[in-house]
Amino acid sequence: MLVRDECEITPAEFRRVSELVHRHCGISLNDGKMSLVQARLAKRLRAGRFGTVTAYLDHVQADPGGSEFTELIDAISTNLTSFFREDDHFRYLADHGVPGMLARRRGAAGGARVRAWSAACSTGEEPYSLAMTLLDALGPKAGSVDLKILATDICTRVLRTAEAGVYDEARVRSVPPDKRARYLRPERQGGRAAFKVVPEVRDAIRFRHLNLTGAWPFAGPFQFIFCRNVMIYFDKPTQERLVGRFYDCLEPGGLLFTGHSESLTGVAHRFRYVQPTIYARP
């Protein structure tokens, strides 16, 4: 007799997980993701001693605001990131984004405010890279500028790592040496060499839990929005809605950066194309 492993997911259970996740946060799980989802749910089933995926999902759906719902979303989300990932974005920001913003502001009121948003910040490497780039690009002006970076993610686990701002030696290797010397301090963690982000960088960032497909408790305006390597998990209508909302909370001239595999080709939008995966609000 064939015995079903309790962690094994049936096609019907997979559909149920997909619908639940899509409804909550826009992530589309196609059939190719079935074994990945099974592996990720297996840990939750073991932790809660659930006999089957159905029993687990019944528990999650009985309490949609509960902690296991959060654990499910945490388990499903893919959090891969790195410092200065897709580094041409940071070069563009320093060489064109910041000078362009300063030129637009010359003589205008409110010139001392700079607002950026890392809209799917994962474990923090993206907003910290953003902060280091903006501080360097602002140069001596940085001291007189009110710089704030909003960093949001739906996954609570990654936000805890991001807020701590401590990274293994291997993770900080992609930070350019001059920025590493200026913005990271060596710190031993559990006997291992690690680096902590300095307060100047850490204090510029507010980490918040936010579902991009839900309500946003702010309206901007931002000068720079990084929304990278998350839209790839959303279907086209969700991407279009999201890109439209980003447009509305950018100031004129503000920039949207998307992941290298997330060009807006085929997505209806109002942005002016700048170069691949960089878009400006006219």
Residue ranges binding ligand SAM (CB under 6 A): 25-27, 77-81, 85, 120, 122, 126, 153-155, 158, 210-213, 228-230, 259
Please say which residue, 38 or 81, places its beta carbon nearer to ligand SAM: 81
How far, in Å, CA of 101 to CA of 114, rounded? 9
Please say which residue, 10 or 78, places its beta carbon nearer to ligand SAM: 78
Angle formed at CA 37 by CA 31 and CA 39, multiple of 5 degrees: 130
Q: Are strands 250-258 and 184-189 parallel, antiparallel or unpaired?
A: unpaired
State the nearest-atom distance from the C-beta of 27 to ligand SAM, in Å: 5
Contact 242, 213 (CB under 8 A): yes
**The one catalytic residue among 15, 40, 105, 245:** 40
State the nearest-atom distance from the C-beta of 247 to ligand SAM, in Å: 18
Please say which residue, 165 or 259, places its beta carbon nearer to ligand SAM: 259
153 is catalytic: yes
Burial of residue 228 (CB within 10 Å: 0-12, 13-18, 19+) is buried
How far, in Å, CA of 182 to CA of 135, rounded? 11
Please say which residue, 54 or 213, places its beta carbon nearer to ligand SAM: 213
State the nearest-atom distance from the C-beta of 280 to ligand SAM, in Å: 20
Please say which residue, 65 or 282, places its beta carbon nearer to ligand SAM: 65
Please say which residue, 89 or 281, places its beta carbon nearer to ligand SAM: 89
**The one catalytic residue among 16, 85, 115, 153:** 153
Q: Which structure tokens are listed for 37?
A: 């989802």
State the nearest-atom distance from the C-beta of 169 to ligand SAM, in Å: 19
State the nearest-atom distance from the C-beta of 278 to ligand SAM, in Å: 14
Residue 240 exposure: Cα atoms within 13 Å on the Cβ side: 8
Q: Where are the alpha helices (DSSP H) in the chain?
A: 11-25, 34-48, 53-62, 67-76, 88-92, 98-105, 125-138, 156-164, 177-183, 199-202, 236-248
How far, in Å, CA of 256 to CA of 97, rounded? 10
Cis amide prior to 221 (ω within 30 degrees): yes
DSSP code at position 225: E
49 is catalytic: no
Closest CA relative to residue 118, chosen from 266, 269, 259: 259
State the nearest-atom distance from the C-beta of 155 to ligand SAM, in Å: 4
Catalytic residues, by residue number, are 40, 153
